[in-house]
Structure 1
């Protein structure tokens, strides 16, 4: 086929099938611009590869196969995205539900009960002196890590270490009082 007749054949093919192929793709992807892009890309791919195709290849079937595969890839991508969004929403819903349940289970009288205070005091008394002092300055006196570091002549990293150590021990001691843990330690 000479160059002119090849171009003419392509133009005829384009004119006859372009709108049909757009309707086909649009029926699946539900976005006209995406459908138009897929069809244009498919025609371009056909034009670029027409010399390498087998003689019995039907151009319209070849182009439609490209469009079909592009639509499948697009829809599979949407499916993966929707699954991820669903999982994120489910996790967010679980977190919200947990916060609601924890708050509903919270008993302020119990949190400030003598029993809890004794557990906290006992745990703090078992801590090394610096760790206990850092915890008290931060949680009871409201000093920042930086202020504590300056006052105790330690680095901020050292203060973080002591606080982590104190909180870990308190979490262990209060493991049976989960709602209390959230109240005392969730917002560090």
Structure 2
């Protein structure tokens, strides 16, 4: 079919859109992409026809559709490869973080500096308060056991522990957001 410059875009669209769309969609497998490719191809055909006679039209249109579809598929391949590469990098990074977390030793979380602050703070506490706190948190003695040892009430034991925790929280105030509330500080 020969179309001259007098033909309108609507005539070109009506004559070639449906077959072009089905052809392109059979390769790109994406409705929106096929519509875009066909619309662009029909516009290119119409623009060319405004400048010069295109005869025969179908092979020229087929060439535009083929090349545009190939470009789309190549772009999709590159996109998939990039996503795959990014996905692999993210997977590697997640594995590294997982491995790092799994291999972390809770004893190593407390740096020497934090341990020093804890030790120094405990040394500033009254002896009885320090001993009660250490027995409770590091020797795993119950409040009842400690109360019997010091011959005080369990409420007295709770008071000494609360005093110790209060002092440690003040001393470690800058570190608490980083390492969370230490399990031995929770009361």
TM-score by length of 2: 0.49
Greater fraction of residues in helix: 1
Q: Rg larger in 1 or in 2? A: 2
